[in-house]
Amino acid sequence: MVEPILKWAGGKRQLLSEITGRFPVEFERYHEPFVGGGAVYFHIEPDGGSINDLNDRLVTLYETIRDRDPDDLIAENRSHEHSEEYYYDARDDFNELREVDEKTAAERLREASLFIYLNRTCFNGLYRENNSGEFNVPVGRYANPDWVQADRVRALHDALQGTSIHNEDFEYVREAASAGDLVYFDPPYEPVSTTADFTDYHAEGFDRDDQRRLRDLAVDLDEMGVSVVLSNSPPVAELYEGVEQFTVHVVEATRAINSDADNRGEVAEVLITNVAEGTQRRKTLSEYQ
């Protein structure tokens, strides 16, 4: 198991056994179209397959970790400083790099390193963009944050070898997956109240129509012989009512990252899957018996 390099709102560390327990015991390739912090992907360390995210800066980070000598990124990480003034200068640099269409190798390395630094020093480890696509989270209060992350950079470099990395709409997986593969979807969640909103992770958001497109894709993948597991908030369950191939399970998760401290703690989530219960890892492997 490899530890993720980023803190991530909605990350699945607390639900790893619940999620992976519903994976089939055997599958060919693994695909994760909303990889985010990659807790599930790096936990199972699949041999090949694909990851994807609409956040192009996150994709740059994973491509840099996969393709560059790990020591290059580690050295760049060591160049940062721990001060409020430096944080806001780094945030400005990070947002300015977003405007560069054709980045040099040095600029891509710098952007990847700034991503790690900001994630490890910003308020509560949040990633949030404004309507202009600018990262706008304020500085956090940490005594001794570790943004170098040398061991994790090296471990993720090894784990990502052979992995195809995409920066596309989630429907890319329709072409990438084939019979016998496994797809795990962890999209931006449907809000559970009028004040809850997980869609500001990316400036373009993720609305109810996107949730319907995702359901339709899940049904198509099922018809292709692809195993599908999907996590979301309870309101999404109604979209799968009457879709007999899929079952819905309610689980409890701990949320440690939220801009509102009152909304941290235990929350209900749903896991939706077409994997037959008798072939799920939790039912067939001794560790789940």
188-246 pLDDT, tens digit each: 886 654 334 434 444 456 899 999 999 999 999 999 999 999 999 999 999 999 899 99
Burial class from Cβ neighbours inside 10 Å (0-12, 13-18, 19+) for residue 249 reads middle
What number is the average pLDDT over the span 38-59?
95
Q: How far is CA 23 from CA 84, 180, 245, 280, in A?
A: 43, 12, 15, 5
Is this model's pTM higher than 0.85 or not? yes
C-alpha torsion sign, points 162, 168, 170, 174: negative
Name the residue ranges covered by the structural domains of the chain.
Answer: 13-54+149-288
**What token pair was written down for 33?**
């179209």
Top CATH class of 13-54+149-288 equals alpha beta
Helix axes 105-121, 56-67, angle to 10 degrees: 110
CA distance 51 to 129: 21
Whole-angstrom Cα distance, residue 156 to residue 163? 11
CA torsion angle 166 179 16 264 (round to 10) = 60
211 with 190: CB under 8 angstroms? yes
**Phi, psi (rounded to 5 degrees) for 182:** -125, 130
What six digits make up the tokens of 115?
A: 């991503």
Residue 288: band (very low, low, confident or very high) from pLDDT cuts 50, 70, 90: very low
pLDDT at 199: 42
User: Mean pLDDT over residues 239-268, rounded?
Assistant: 74
- CA pair distance 105, 124, nearest whole angstrom: 30
User: If DSSP states are collapsed to H, E and C, what string results for 220-258?
Assistant: HHHHCCCEEEEEECHHHHHHHCCCCCCEEEEEEEEECCC
Residue 237 CA to residue 102 CA, distance in Å, equals: 41
Residue 14: pLDDT over 90: no
Q: What is the predicted pLDDT for the residue at 40?
A: 96
Q: Which residues contact 264 (CB under 8 A, 6 or more apart)?
A: 255, 256, 257, 258
In this prediction, residues 85-114 reach a mean pLDDT of: 97
Give the tens place of pLDDT for each residue, 122-148.
999 999 999 899 999 999 999 999 999
